[in-house]
Structure 1
Amino acid sequence: MTSSGRAAEHPTTRRTDARTERWREHRRQVRHEFVDAAFRALDRCGPEVSMGDIAREAGAAKPKLYRHFEDKSDLYNAIVDRVREGLWERVVASIDLTNDSARDLVRRGAAEYALAVQRHPNVFRFILHSHFAQQASDSERALQSARLSARRAAELCTAALGDDSIDVDSAELIAYSVFGAVASATDWWLGVNRTRARAMSIERFVDYLAEVIAAIAQANSRLHGVTINPNLPLHLAFSPR
């Protein structure tokens, strides 16, 4: 016991804790590097990429890949999470919730998304139609990820509005509907089953996404007796009808 009456921490416990934390950090780093390799392998091999392709891209044996990911669906989930977090960071960095008009916010978000799809089209094809998602619960992972992003977007917007009367669940429904519409549009734009060249330029695709997103937000707002002025900053754009 110490003079204060507390039991002294055993040195062995401290060493064990330090080793455990180092292992956890090592595991996080290796998983991160494998996801990096998965992006490269998808870019090179396409959405039908295999675990072996990813392991070779990482310069590792396939058994090592399986030591850090339980199965294909675990790696699929990690790729979905990486896309979600990276896209979220880019969108948040590109907007000013205080001063940007509602129209500008929508368009900048749509533009960042379209650029991400253009950079890694096979990654998005993989997310939408992956053979790695073998079970129903796995195939819903992208939808669950979209729901998480929808909730975060809803909370961010309601915080910017500074109005406690705003229903976060209603705002979440708008964002969730947007994610569903955008996923369907992306599937068409990428042309998974299309043999001819891409039918729409990225500029037109961004225009389309911005119009669809704005229409969904406007429709939901009308149902709640609210109008949106797209030319005003977000905290000024909403008013009762």
Structure 2
Amino acid sequence: MKHMQPVAEIRPASPTADGRRSRWTEHRRARRADLVTAAVEAVRRAGPDFSVDDVARSAGVSKTVIYRYFSDKDELIDAVLEQISTVVLLPRLLGELAVDRPDDAARLRAVIAAFVSLIEDEPALYRFAYAHTGRAGRADLVAATEREIAEALGRLMADRLTEAGRPAGAAMTWAYGVVGMVQLAAHWWAGSPTVPAAELVDQLTALAHGGLSTLLPPARS
């Protein structure tokens, strides 16, 4: 009979090793987040065509440090787009939708005004987002943001229709239609601001509410 070799004992990782690994993971996450914030500031200063050198200057580090945390510039751009969406755009727009207002026109006007003010307040970030729409196999901030806002608006419309005992199947169609209309008109205006921002908001609200007021049931008082 062949002599059997003893099976090596598998020892669990020590708590000390696990702790070091956890601290390193958290350090890497925090460092990456700091670099993304620096990249957003670089976009604000340099515009959509920012370079990795711009990010390095903003963060006060070398390009080599940037590439320790991002495989290439595309990965950095993806992270910047996500930051713009989750920190700048969506909280502001979804926050306006969540506020209880006296009527549909007031709610629509608040969301449209928030979007137009974002274009005014953050022109470089807005241009950056549009400059990177439709990248093959990469994140599309504009499409993702439009989808989240349209879905939230559609749920509100569906609730209104359901409460009134009416079919809610058209709610998402109307919501995407409103968001697409506002987005395209505001994008045109951003490149050619022929009217003041407040007037643009009034015009878009009149069009959006004028159409929806014939389709949605009256709001409950």
TM-score range, shorter chain: 0.7 to 0.9
Count of residues in correspondence between the two structures = 209
8 Å Cα contact 1:80/1:145 also seen in 2: no
AA at the equivalent of 2:50: V
Structure 2 length normalisation: TM-score?
A: 0.73
TM-fit CA distance, 1:99: 4.4
Asked if 1:116 is matched to 2:118, the reply is yes
| Deviation sequence 1:13-69 (CA, Å, 0-9, x none) | x44444444344333333332232223222222222122212211212223223323
Taking the aligned partners of 2:98 and 2:152, their CA distance within structure 1 comes to 16
1:183 is aligned to 183
Structure 1 length normalisation: TM-score?
A: 0.68
State, as a whole percentage, how many aligned pairs show the same letter. Answer: 26
| Deviation sequence 1:67-105 (CA, Å, 0-9, x none) | 323333333333332333233322344456544311111
The unaligned stretches of length 5 or more in structure 1 are 1-8
1:69 is aligned to 70
Tell which has more relative contact order, 1 or 2 (C-alpha 8 A, sep 6+).
Answer: 1
* Pair 1:17–1:48, CA change in 2 (3 A): same
Asked if 1:38 is matched to 2:39, the reply is yes
1:146 is aligned to 146
8 Å Cα contact 1:125/1:187 also seen in 2: no
Taking the aligned partners of 1:82 and 1:149, their CA distance within structure 2 comes to 17
Taking the aligned partners of 1:15 and 1:107, their CA distance within structure 2 comes to 56
The root-mean-square deviation of aligned C-alpha atoms, in Å, is 3.5
TM-fit CA distance, 1:170: 4.2
TM-fit CA distance, 1:171: 3.3
Taking the aligned partners of 1:154 and 1:19, their CA distance within structure 2 comes to 47
2:92 is aligned to 90
Larger radius of gyration, structure 1 or 2? 2
8 Å Cα contact 1:189/1:199 also seen in 2: yes
| Deviation sequence 1:93-128 (CA, Å, 0-9, x none) | 445654431111111111111222111101111111
Q: Comparing 87-96 with 55-64, which one deviates more in the overlay? A: 87-96
AA at the equivalent of 1:211: A
Q: The residue matched to 2:61 in structure 1 has which SS?
A: coil
The unaligned stretches of length 5 or more in structure 2 are 1-10
Q: The residue matched to 1:227 in structure 2 has which SS?
A: coil
